[in-house]
Amino acid sequence: MKELLDMFFTFARIGGLTFGGGYAMLPMLQKEVVEKRGWATEDELMDYYAVGQCTPGVIAVNTATFIGYKQKGIPGSIFATAGVISPSILIIGIIAAFIRNFAELAAVKNAFAGIRVCVCVLIFNAVAKLYKKAVIDLPATVIFVLVFLGSVLFDVSPAVYVVLAGAAGILIRNLGAGKGGK
């Protein structure tokens, strides 16, 4: 039970201290889940994010569920998921009660503008870290460039890019294995 409570409070802290959604949580997830607790590796975290993006639901919730399940099965997935959503439910409830009174204040608008900029930087830092670990050779670079260009130029579901990139990875690695590659 101690491990489950630790998982709940770890994910509650992540959920309560991260603004901007699932992508903004990535740096904190890397620190808490990979570096500090060893519940997942960098590669596993990237895989959970990829799968979390193309499955129904919120990326952060899906990722917490996957990590909880990996560590403690179904109870772990329940505690991790409950932990990551609890702060949002509490905060949204409080904000909903008062937002109409304060939404038009200049200070509130300016605060949200500043928070959005901060979230962009946090996401950029997470992407830079992931890029260094994931884009390690020419095939990965080609997949990266094609997915990047596709996502900029076309309005296609991210799930399509994940599936296509996965298929490309399988195809490239299998072709390479036939020619003496990995």
Are residues 113 and 38 in contact, defined by beta-carbon separation less than 8 angstroms? no
Tell me the pLDDT tens digit for each residue of 119-162.
888 888 888 888 888 898 999 999 999 999 999 999 998 889 98
Based on the fold, state whether residues 32 and 88 are members of the same structural domain. yes
Q: Between 51 and 38, where is the model more confident? A: 38
Based on the fold, state whether residues 119 and 163 are members of the same structural domain. no
Based on the fold, state whether residues 179 and 115 are members of the same structural domain. no
Q: How confident is the model at residue 15 (pLDDT cuts 50, 70, 90)?
A: confident
Mean pLDDT to the nearest integer, 38-48: 87
Instruction: Give the CA radius of gyration of the chain.
Output: 19
Domain count, the chain: 2
pLDDT for 46: 84
Q: Using a pLDDT cut of 70, give the percent of the chain over it.
A: 94
Based on the fold, state whether residues 73 and 95 are members of the same structural domain. yes
- List CB contacts of 48: < 8 A, sequence separation 6 or more: 40, 62, 63, 66, 67
Which residues constitute the domain of residue 142? Answer: 135-182
Q: Between 77 and 134, where is the model more confident? A: 77
Based on the fold, state whether residues 91 and 27 are members of the same structural domain. yes
Among candidate residues 64, 34, 62, the one with its CA nearest the CA of residue 126: 34
Q: How confident is the model at residue 24 (pLDDT cuts 50, 70, 90)?
A: confident
Burial of 175 (C-beta count, 10 Å sphere; 0-12/13-18/19+): exposed
- Calculate the average pLDDT of the chain: 86
Query: What does the alpha-carbon distance between residue 122 and residue 115 come to, in Å, rounded to a whole number?
Result: 10
Burial of 68 (C-beta count, 10 Å sphere; 0-12/13-18/19+): buried
Sequence-ordered alpha helix ranges (H) in 18-157: 22-29, 42-54, 59-102, 106-134, 138-153
Based on the fold, state whether residues 157 and 113 are members of the same structural domain. no
Which of 133, 156, 174 is a domain's end point? 133
Query: What does the alpha-carbon distance between residue 45 and residue 177 come to, in Å, rounded to a whole number?
Result: 26
pLDDT for 178: 58
Based on the fold, state whether residues 127 and 179 are members of the same structural domain. no
Which of 133, 148, 169 is a domain's end point? 133
Based on the fold, state whether residues 11 and 58 are members of the same structural domain. yes
Residue 136 CB neighbours (<10 A):
10
